[in-house]
Amino acid sequence: MFEHFFMHMLPKKVSENGVRFKPTLYLGAMLVMLFMFLSVSGLLLLFYYTPERSQAFASILFLEEKVFLGSFFRSFHRMSSHIFLIVLSAHMLRVIFSGAYKVRTYSWRLGLFIFTLIIFEAYAGYLLPMDQLSWWAAKTGLELMKSLPIGGILESILAPDGIGSRLTLTRYFALHIVVIPMFLIVLVSVHMFAVRRQGLSIEGMKVSSDKLKSRLIILFVVMFMSVIILSIFIGAPLTLEADPTTPPNPAKSAWFLLWLQEIVSWRTWYINFVMLVYITMFFLPELSRRKSGFGWFSFDDRPVWISVLLMVIIILVLTIIAMFFRGADWSFGLYFS
């Protein structure tokens, strides 16, 4: 019964295009698998983590140094989350570049909402180890949020007594391990249900799902092994215990927010451009004049995919600048550390 329950996530018959690699690149399936990795490793970390400001860092240190496989599971969780964010971006780009966003507008908008929640999820998790790196990344991230139009209200709900203080740590913890994941599970289920209900954005002949099943199992094994190997070789960093009085210089946010930090370091209100682009994304299906259905980089949708491609390049360049070319007091130079 157990096995049947999980195997019935897939219908008996699926579109042949769901089996083929090229239309979807299997990115959505990869995200589901990574979500499983994150849930399981997260649950394991819960056995040792203490969400209390004077104990949090010590509990991570204990996990890292004393617990069998402790540092591995922490590294596995971190690595899964990094890969999750990268695959998530790839999934969104796939949906834009293949025109699926125009065919399945409901899934596109719901997906964007899920994307936003996941960014929050990743950000909230950053604070939990309470070392210098995480404290200041959470701090600069909160400052980014504050620069948004409703940032003040968000700040007083998320961090009423400031980053790392009693209430704030409790809230980040609750958000990271229960509140956001709970919403994610519901919303992602709807997101996946929409695919079953409406079909893929590219219709095709119905074939048995057996082939897809075996391919997904192979994909699962490959993903699992790659994350294990990466987490063995690239450990999760742990710096000194958080010290709110001495910021590291420069103080940098989480890597996926660095491009935003770079933008607000020019002028705070530039962040409104980013918000504008974000809101535009919700109306992308209406703004696009695409006539053709599914198809990679289709000619009549050039304005959309060229501007999105440009946006990706800009984000990458800004991230690289903030990561490698910003030193003490955020001065510009060559800083490979």
Partner 1 sequence: MAGDIGEDEMISRRNLLRSLIAAPFLFLTGKYLFPPSEAKGVLVEVESDKIPEGGAMVFHDENIILVRADEEVIAFSLECTHLGCTVALNGEEFACPCHGSKFASDGSVIQGPATRSLDRYVTKITNNKIQVIESKKDV
Question: Contacting partner 1 (CB under 8 A), which of 226, 249, 272, 280?
Answer: 249
Question: Contacting partner 1 (CB under 8 A), which of 74, 78, 139, 176?
Answer: 139
Q: Are 265 and 321 in contact (CB under 8 A)?
A: no
Question: Contacting partner 1 (CB under 8 A), which of 53, 146, 213, 215?
Answer: 146
Q: Are 330 and 321 in contact (CB under 8 A)?
A: no
The span of 27-35, 156-164, 207-215, 297-305 binding partner 1 (CB under 8 A) equals 156-164
Question: Contacting partner 1 (CB under 8 A), which of 67, 264, 308, 309?
Answer: 264
| CA within 13 Å, CB half, 15 | 15
Q: At a CB cut-off of 8 Å and minimum separation 6, what does 59 contact?
A: 48, 49, 50
Q: Which two tokens stand for residue 102?
A: 């125009």
Taking alpha carbons only, the member of 75, 242, 263, 268 closest to residue 168 is: 242
The span of 44-52, 110-118, 136-144, 212-220 binding partner 1 (CB under 8 A) equals 136-144
Q: Which two tokens stand for residue 159?
A: 């961090």
Site membership for partner 1, residue 54 (CB under 8 A)? no
Residues 163 to 192: which contact partner 1 by CB under 8 A?
167
CB atoms within 10 A of CB 12: 10
Q: Which is nearer to partner 1, 166 or 206 (CB)?
A: 166
CA 181 – CA 165 distance, rounded (Å) = 23
250 prior amide bond cis, ω within 30: yes
Site membership for partner 1, residue 157 (CB under 8 A)? yes
The distance of closest approach from Cβ of residue 234 to partner 1 in the complex, given in angstroms and rounded to an integer, is 26
Contact map string, positions 218 to 247, toward partner 1, x by CB under 8 A: --------------------------xxxx
Binding-site ranges for partner 1 (CB under 8 A): 139-140, 143-144, 146-147, 156-157, 160-161, 167, 244-251, 261, 264-268, 328-331
